[in-house]
Amino acid sequence: MRDEIYEAPHGDPMELFEHVYVDPTGHYDRQRGMLQVELEARGADGGA
């Protein structure tokens, strides 16, 4: 498990919302959308 964690890809800001709940709510989707808008404003494509 340790190796899997270390080897997992990281650096995509949208990962912030991954694996928090098994069943995310609409509230989560709204916050995820807010971050997406921020990233687009930065000119980012989702990668750090």
Binding region for another protein (CB under 8 A): 10-11, 13, 15-17, 20, 27-28, 31, 34-35, 38-39, 41-42, 48
How near is the Cβ of 34 to another protein at its closest, in Å?
A: 8
Selection from 2, 19, 14 nearest residue 48 by Cα: 14
Nearer residue to another protein within complex by CB, 20 or 45: 20
How near is the Cβ of 4 to another protein at its closest, in Å?
A: 15
Q: Quickly list DSSP for 8-38.
A: S----GGGGGTTS-SS--HHHHHHHHHHHHH
